[in-house]
């Protein structure tokens, strides 16, 4: 993959908790305003009935617009709920087994923190994409961030698509846009009073 590439795509990440009375409409408004490559259902709850209801509601929104919907971690729900794939949080550890279980048509993504080695391994084992993060400073986690150098190296050397996510802002998007395939955007817009316009601002930063 060349270091010079097309404008990155948007990969939307849901809040870890949301109200089914209004969130599907908020998501639909974002999808109608901006081209989005994928949506990740990333609920914190372990209540499978709540997850299933949320997945059903969001699938209706995303599939009507021909946007893929993946679920975070819950592999067994992919086929059961008619989803497009799974986003794994354990780096490369389960990629091979999950790829075998879900088959070649499903999307299998792997979050690899800041580890170049884990990202390469995940790609070799069949991940469709690898995500690194957080790219910005956050009070969560251990304080480590995925640095620009990692994305520069990856975009020059590795063909597996890469996602930059976590604590993004306009400056980081401008800096990373030449070196990433996707921006994983979640709380950056959902905490805003106007997610649609906030998303538009982030998209415009890619070309500035």
Spell out the domain ranges in the chain.
9-206
* Residues 166-182 pLDDT 10s: 999 999 999 999 999 99
Q: Are 196 and 29 in contact (CB under 8 A)?
A: yes
Rounded to the nearest integer, the mean pLDDT of the chain is: 95
**Which one, of 162, 120, 156, lies nearest residue 1 by Cα?**
156
Q: Given pLDDT bands bounded at 50, 70 and 90, which one contains residue 5?
A: low
**DSSP-derived 3-state class of residue 156:** helix
In degrees and rounded to multiples of 5, residue 173 shows phi and psi of -65, -45
Dihedral, CA atoms, 188, 150, 86, 36, nearest 10 degrees?
Answer: 50
Q: State pTM to two decimals.
A: 0.96
Dihedral, CA atoms, 23, 27, 33, 39, nearest 10 degrees?
Answer: 170
* pLDDT score of 142 more than 90: no
CATH tag, 9-206: 3.20.20.70
């Amino acid at each position: 993959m060349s270091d010079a590439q097309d404008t990155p795509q948007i990969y939307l990440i849901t809040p870890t908790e949301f109200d089914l009375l209004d969130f599907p409409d908020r998501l639909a408004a974002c999808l109608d305003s901006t081209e989005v490559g994928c949506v990740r259902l990333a609920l914190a709850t372990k209540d499978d009935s709540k997850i299933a209801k949320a997945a059903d509601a969001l699938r209706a929104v995303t599939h009507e617009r021909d946007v893929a919907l993946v679920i975070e971690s819950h592999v067994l729900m992919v086929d059961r709920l008619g989803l497009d794939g799974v986003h794994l949080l354990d780096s490369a550890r389960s990629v091979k087994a999950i790829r075998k279980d879900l088959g070649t048509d499903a999307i299998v993504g792997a979050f690899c923190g800041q580890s170049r080695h884990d990202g390469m391994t995940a790609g070799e084992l069949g991940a469709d994409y690898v995500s690194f993060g957080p790219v910005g400073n956050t009070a969560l986690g251990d304080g480590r961030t995925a640095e620009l150098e990692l994305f520069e190296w990856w975009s020059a050397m590795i063909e597996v698509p890469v996602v930059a996510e976590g604590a993004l802002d306009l400056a980081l998007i401008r800096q990373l846009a030449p070196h990433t395939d996707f921006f994983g955007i979640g709380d950056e817009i959902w905490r805003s009073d106007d997610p649609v316009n906030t998303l538009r601002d982030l998209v415009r930063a890619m070309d500035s």
